[in-house]
Structure 1
Amino acid sequence: MKLIAIRHTRVAVPAGICYGQTDVPLADSFLKELSEVQAATAGLKVDAVFSSPLSRCQTLAKAVFTHHPIVQDDRLKEMNFGQWELQTWDAIYATPEGRHWMNHYQELPTVRGESLPELHQRVADFVHELSRSTHKRVVVVTHAGVIRLLKSMLENQSMEAVFSNFAPSYGGVYEFEIK
């Protein structure tokens, strides 16, 4: 099965802010970025479209895949950063717990949020369920963290390598194979 993952477009949040599962609005560049996503997916035949329920993904999914029902799935949400949501990464790193988490992000949860292993389990559950379907090609409109985990799982790359060397772009379209 082909899985086409699309990251939401830019958000109206200053650079350097951790926004995770906060439902933030899209940036003014949405229409330009939408046309780029539409061009990248023109003629794409899909069996199903899944999306994170956060509005930045829903808006893009509905605008690109106008003739498909959009299935919302909580497992496609970005990581929950708990009390760090809407803080700057610099302010988070300036705290002892923030610095400790950033040095051990692969196993520790965020303060009152979730851990990367918990996010990994959510995404793995979604992929496992999808692999049992009869679909040949599906689209997921989601977030950078989810796309990185899809790449890790479906291309057998370590999470460390993916988080160090792969940064999904806003409005980026990525194709994976579920075997």
Structure 2
Amino acid sequence: MPVLQPPPFRVYLMRHARAAWPAPGGRDFDRPLDNAGYAEAELIADKAADKGFTPDVVLSSTALRCRETAQAVRRAFNDTFEVSYVDEMYNAEAALYLALISAQTMSQSVMLVGHNPAMEAALETFIGQQKMAALLPMGFPTAGLAVLDAKSEQYASGVTWTLSEFLAP
């Protein structure tokens, strides 16, 4: 996978909060957040707002659980940004998530609200497999929010990404 070069200089990767089981005969795509999921989404959104983690661009999967998670984030920031919904993020590979981030050349920061395993694989691309295993031995939790910052290398020709913070319920 390619190494991303800024901009954006800050990337937020958020997995949707905990979802309810599908209704009988219902589709996975239509699963809403359950009560615990709503609480998770609100908690992490409030923590992000308190820390000033304000994204310039928010891209979310169109799956109901992602839309509900993204709206919790938007409310925590007093509706100061719009959320763009991307159909292709549902059941996508990490390469699509990385391409969406790379396409945000006019933004300083971008947030993706999406699904596992793509979210976990995208984070691993940024920080590497060893750091990923040490940080999240049980995997990327629901409503988890990774905050990544680009750091210029003084003598190298590229940029490295560091995990500045990880918020979890």
Question: Could you tell me the TM-score, scaled by structure 2's length?
Answer: 0.65
Quick one: distance in 1 between partners of 2:71 and 2:31?
A: 17
RMSD: 3.0
| 2:63 aligns with one of 14, 35, 54 | 54
**What is the Cα deviation at residue 73 of structure 1?**
1.8
Quick one: distance in 2 between partners of 1:137 and 1:127?
A: 9
Match of 2:16 in 1: 8
**1:121 correspondence with 2:134:** no
Unaligned runs of 5+ in 2: 1-8, 151-158, 160-169
| 1:68 aligns with one of 78, 81, 85 | 81
Question: Percent identity between the aligned chains?
Answer: 21
| Higher RCO by CA contacts (8 Å cutoff, separation 6 or greater) | 1
Quick one: distance in 1 between partners of 2:37 and 2:133?
A: 30
Match of 2:127 in 1: 155
Quick one: distance in 1 between partners of 2:86 and 2:97?
A: 10
Match of 1:143 in 2: 115
**What is the Cα deviation at residue 39 of structure 1?**
2.4
Question: Could you tell me the TM-score, scaled by structure 1's length?
Answer: 0.61
Match of 2:31 in 1: 24
Considering fraction of residues, name the structure with more helix: 1
Match of 1:171 in 2: 143
Tell me how many residue pairs correspond in the alignment: 132
**1:37 correspondence with 2:44:** yes
Q: Give CA-to-partner distance per residue, 1:40-82, whole Å, 9 cap, x none.
A: 2113222111111111111111222122111112343235xxx
Considering fraction of residues, name the structure with more strand: 2
**What is the Cα deviation at residue 166 of structure 1?**
5.2
Contact 2:62–2:86 under 8 Å retained in 1: yes
Bigger Rg, which one: 1
User: Secondary structure of the residue that 2:12 maps to in structure 1?
Assistant: strand
